[in-house]
Structure 1
Amino acid sequence: MSQPDHKASTLIVGRFVDPAELAPDAVRALLVCPLPTNGEDGKPLFQAQVIFHDGMMHPLAAPDNNLDVRSYCQRLSALYDWPVHDGLPVSEHYPRGKDEITASPQLNQNERKAMQLIGEKIADQLEASNIPFSQAVDQARDQLAAFVAFSVVEGGLDREAAKEAALEALNATVQKLVK
């Protein structure tokens, strides 16, 4: 007996969906989504989510730590050829190697908070327009790319600081849209 191929999140009954039960052509991407709450050990929690072409999302597994969720999504990406989108906050460190040299952050805490507020305002505008999640993220990314270009050319902002600011705002947008 074959298992059903879920083509939309509305067809999924359980809390989590088995990736083998997803119709491969119905999946737009996987999302590594940071959660607003921390685990029992005080470390941030992340959740793997599937994004369907209609913009709807559904969790794939229980929340876990950063690296385990990323590894899970990358394995699924290799199996099914689905892209993985990263919702990693800029302030979160993602280790690349044990001798990695990290650049110091370009934004101070007030600038970071201001960019998060901009991201939340963008999310409010997109939610009011009833735009599907995937299209909303694309539109937010486009708005923030324009912000980076304008800030660097007209405002004299350092390119790396502008990128960091845009990522901070985009992550705040995605977090608000996911809720």
Structure 2
Amino acid sequence: MKICIVSDSHDRGPMLATAIAEAKTRGAACVLHCGDLIGTNTLLASLKLGLPIHVIHGNNLGDPVSISRLACQSDGLLQYYGNDANLELHGRKIFMTHYPHIAKAFASAGDHDLVCCGHSHEPLLSTEATVKGGTTLLVNPGTVAGLGAPAATWVFGDLDTMQFEVESLER
């Protein structure tokens, strides 16, 4: 199962939709958004693409009531979790948080195959050693909005092979 991982869209709906559309053309089956979405208008074009989107809110909370309402009206396309999310997709245990320090702690615990975060606006793909003697993949897609970063970035990944790549958008 291929996935699109994004974060820190900060109300830049067209850039978010562009990343998701690119991921969809490459076979992505769903989207993980690691926070700082801000508002519902950011999601409207992306939801029209038809991929399920899993969202947490991050530190720029925006309008959580409106996002919750949109999720309820989305026929299951939008899943809004609040502060963090514990998911199982395609047999993989996934944890989503906005904050890198929390992500590193969860990755180190060894209870998940994949831990995703945002916040720093800096992309990162890292294999973390766990206290259980294994490894967990830690992914930060950077910022799909490109704010305060050299590039607007997102991550395309494959849950079968656990191969992930940082992708850039034209601004």
TM-score, normalised to structure 1's length?
A: 0.28
More strand by share: 2
Larger Rg: 1
